[in-house]
């Protein structure tokens, strides 16, 4: 099996912990200095994904009715289409870290709302509109041209679309433009969300939320919250597009 080497910087995920590919991380320190943390190569190599057949299976259907406020569903989910695992029915929420004992959280109960132990305010949720496949959840760390190298054979110049892959909450499809054995451009094809969710929200006459132009701040902080995620579906689709540029049928 021919393998292609892609030098792409991938950063660890927030939605899933995808391994790092020989990438040096910049870590924010107090006062805004940046320290480097060397990463150990770990996790899926893109080359493995080029060998994986496309998976176009449907996602499991969402529950038909959103929950009313304050109720918890404790029935088991319908049998999964891939029946390898059986999720439990009701399980007491017991936190058991290996080193010190910690007080258990309240067990799941159909009479109680979701109560987060050790905190005074309770998170309660509004009714939720039925979800539809949404805009792609994709990420790309850098816009640099990505060098393609193969043991034999060039990559053909042109534009190639990867397969439409199932991402975390929707579908994603990557399109690449290859020129001179480089990926010169990456585009993500995405599909507009169903307008029903917006109509639902608008019909509730919500208060108008304040907006502002985002502005850089110059301040020292103890930490930074940010999204650093790489979509595995994006990687799969990108792999397919690259395989097409190579002319293989992987």
Which residue, chain included where needed, has tokens 């009313």? 68
Which of 22, 60, 154, 247: binder of other proteins (CB under 8 A)? 60
Verify binding: residue 26, other proteins, rule CB under 8 A. Answer: yes
Q: With H, G, I as helix, E, B as strand and everything else as coil, classify residue 196.
A: helix
Extract the tokens encoding 172: 């994603």
Which DSSP helix (H) or strand (E) runs through 166? strand 165-166
Minimum distance, C-beta of residue 53 to other proteins, in the bound complex (Å): 9
- Contact map string, positions 218 to 247, toward other proteins, x by CB under 8 A: -xxxxxxxxxxx-x----------------
Kindly tell me which of 119 and 152 has the beta carbon lying closer to other proteins: 119
Which of 6, 46, 138, 245: binder of other proteins (CB under 8 A)? 138
For the segment 5-24, give every residue that binds other proteins (CB under 8 A): 11-20
Nearest in space to 238 (alpha carbons), one of 185, 168, 170: 185
For the segment 187-216, give every residue that binds other proteins (CB under 8 A): 187-193, 197-198, 201, 204, 206-207, 209-216
Verify binding: residue 97, other proteins, rule CB under 8 A. Answer: yes
Minimum distance, C-beta of residue 152 to other proteins, in the bound complex (Å): 29
Verify binding: residue 96, other proteins, rule CB under 8 A. Answer: yes
Minimum distance, C-beta of residue 213 to other proteins, in the bound complex (Å): 6
CB burial class (10 A; 0-12, 13-18, 19+) of residue 161?
middle
| Binding span for other proteins by CB under 8 A among 113-121, 150-158, 239-247 | 113-121
Which residue, chain included where needed, has tokens 């907006």? 211
Which of 7, 22, 51, 55: binder of other proteins (CB under 8 A)? 55
Verify binding: residue 250, other proteins, rule CB under 8 A. Answer: no
> Length of the chain, please?
250
Q: How far apart are CA 203 and CA 126, in angstroms?
A: 14
Kindly tell me which of 4 and 229 has the beta carbon lying closer to other proteins: 229
Q: How many residues form the binding site for other proteins (CB under 8 A)?
A: 123
Q: With H, G, I as helix, E, B as strand and everything else as coil, classify residue 125.
A: coil
CA 180 to centroid of chain Cα atoms? 31
β-pair partners for 159? 177
Q: How far apart are CA 201 and CA 230, in angstroms?
A: 29
Extract the tokens encoding 28: 């924010």
β-pair partners for 158? 178
Verify binding: residue 79, other proteins, rule CB under 8 A. Answer: no
């Amino acid at each position: 099996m021919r393998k292609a080497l892609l030098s792409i910087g991938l950063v660890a995920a927030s939605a899933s912990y995808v391994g790092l590919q020989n990438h040096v991380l910049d870590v924010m320190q107090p006062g805004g200095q940046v320290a480097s943390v060397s990463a150990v190569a770990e996790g899926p190599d893109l080359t493995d994904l080029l060998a994986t057949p496309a998976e176009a299976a449907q996602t499991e259907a969402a529950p038909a009715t959103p929950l009313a406020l304050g109720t918890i569903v404790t029935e088991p989910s319908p049998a999964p289409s891939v029946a390898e695992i059986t999720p439990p029915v009701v399980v007491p929420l017991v936190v058991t870290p290996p080193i010190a004992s910690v007080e258990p959280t309240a067990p799941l109960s159909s009479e109680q709302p979701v109560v987060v132990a050790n905190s005074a305010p309770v998170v309660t949720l509004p009714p939720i509109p039925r979800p539809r496949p949404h805009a792609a959840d994709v990420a790309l760390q850098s816009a640099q041209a990505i060098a393609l190298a193969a043991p034999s054979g060039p990559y053909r110049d042109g534009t190639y679309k990867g397969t439409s892959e199932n991402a975390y909450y929707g579908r994603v499809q990557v399109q690449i433009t290859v020129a001179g054995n480089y990926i010169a451009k990456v585009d993500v094809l995405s599909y507009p969300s169903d307008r029903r969710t917006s109509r639902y929200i608008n019909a509730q006459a919500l208060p108008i939320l304040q907006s502002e132009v985002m502005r850089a701040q110059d301040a020292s902080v103890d930490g930074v919250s940010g999204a650093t995620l790489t979509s595995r579906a994006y990687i799969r689709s990108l792999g397919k597009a690259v395989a097409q540029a190579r002319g293989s049928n992987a």
